A = this chain, B = another copy of it.
Amino acid sequence: MLLNKNINPLKQHVDTTTEQVILEAAENLFLERGFALTSTTEIARIVGCNQALVHYYYRTKDQLFDAVFEKNAGKFVSSFLQPVEENISFEEKVRKKIETQYDILKANPRLPFLFFNELNTNPGRLKLLKEKTGDLPGLLFSAMESEIRTEIEKGTIRPMTAMDLMLTIFSLNIALFLASPVLKAITGMTEAEFQNLIEGRKRENVTIILKSLRP
């Protein structure tokens, strides 16, 4: 990479290419403001390069966003599809599922915003997502469905559907991250206090869900 003028010196590991630097800057901005409110001009400004260079590497803003979205949507979707060990109790499986997803979100707190913002505003992206995930969700779903049925018959959990359980896990896990700017603003929490809240909320989500399973 030739570019080395206005760049934060800390970021100058020898083998970051300009292409990567652009992608990272784009990722940060897209995660912060979404597609519509991010311009290729601003990406270039942050990278410290000419705006045409952004297009040189990624041709269009759409393709650049695609690269960012693909990568991040992948993380998000995988947070649902992450398999859990087989030889543990149902309760332990559920706990693991919640915690795994929560950890991924904690490490990528803007994921829910990017994901829902884009999929609520761009119908084309929804189609792509469906094509990409294929029938994986369906398979995962019926696997969970049968497992739940077994537990219900054993009397270890109350009657419910796989959809119920999935939605519950998902709802409790994502909402905090979506609401974090609002929450910080109206409560006036410090960043440390908020990190504390995030930490505690993981256990709380597990508690709530495991209790809610009981017959």
Contact = CB atoms under 8 A, between A and B. Distances in A.
24 contacts: A33-B121, A113-B116, A113-B120, A115-B182, A116-B182, A120-B178, A126-B181, A129-B182, A129-B185, A164-B204, A167-B175, A167-B176, A167-B179, A168-B208, A171-B171, A171-B172, A171-B176, A174-B175, A175-B175, A208-B208, A208-B209, A209-B212, A211-B211, A211-B212
Contacts of A197: 163
Nearest to A167: B176
A35 to B, nearest CB: 9
A207 interface: yes
Contacts of A33: 121
A30 to B, nearest CB: 11
Interface string A167-194: 1101110111011011001110000000
Given A126-B182, A171-B175, 18 more contacts: A37-B121, A113-B120, A115-B182, A116-B182, A120-B178, A126-B185, A129-B186, A130-B186, A133-B186, A137-B187, A164-B204, A167-B175, A167-B176, A171-B171, A171-B176, A208-B208, A208-B212, A209-B212
A201 B167 contact: yes
A95 to B, nearest CB: 15
